[in-house]
Amino acid sequence: MNPDVSRRTAHLWLMLVLAGCYAVILNVLPSLTGVALLDGTLGLSLGLYICSHPAAASIDLFYLDRLMLHRLASEWADFRWLLLNIVVMLVGCLVTVAGATEFVGPTR
């Protein structure tokens, strides 16, 4: 496996941990800052930041030549990296939605 892929994998796992911490904080505290607009802004920013890394990786894949893309899809480690990108993108979308719901204020 390419060492550059390892670093990106560790960073993607960090994004998942960050999203998990955000979810735990949202469940424990009624409000992060006490201001719904600020809570929503933080959640949206975090969600978009989490989504930006897999989005950048997918754009990079568009520019790879077809031979390189075939090799990437044939190696198990690289396939797991692609799957991790998809999971991080979905989790980032969920964090973005959670941040958007914070704009309307607490629902508890």
Task: Tell whether 20 is covered by a domain.
Answer: no
pLDDT per residue as tens digits for the range 19-51: 999 999 988 987 888 888 888 899 999 999 999
Instruction: Region of 78 please: left (phi>0), alpha (psi -120 to 50) or beta.
Output: alpha
Task: Tell whether 95 is covered by a domain.
Answer: yes
The distance in angstroms from the start CA to the end CA of the chain is 47
pLDDT confidence of residue 82: 82
Task: Tell whether 33 is covered by a domain.
Answer: no
Query: What does the alpha-carbon distance between residue 8 and residue 54 come to, in Å, rounded to a whole number?
Result: 10
Task: Tell whether 52 is covered by a domain.
Answer: yes
CA distances (Å), 31 to each of 20, 27, 87, 94, in order?
16, 9, 27, 18
Q: How many domains does the chain have?
A: 1
pLDDT confidence of residue 77: 65
Task: Tell whether 83 is covered by a domain.
Answer: yes
Domain that includes residue 90, residue range: 39-102
Task: Tell whether 22 is covered by a domain.
Answer: no
Hey, what's the torsion of the CAs at 14, 15, 16, 17, to 10 degrees? Answer: 50
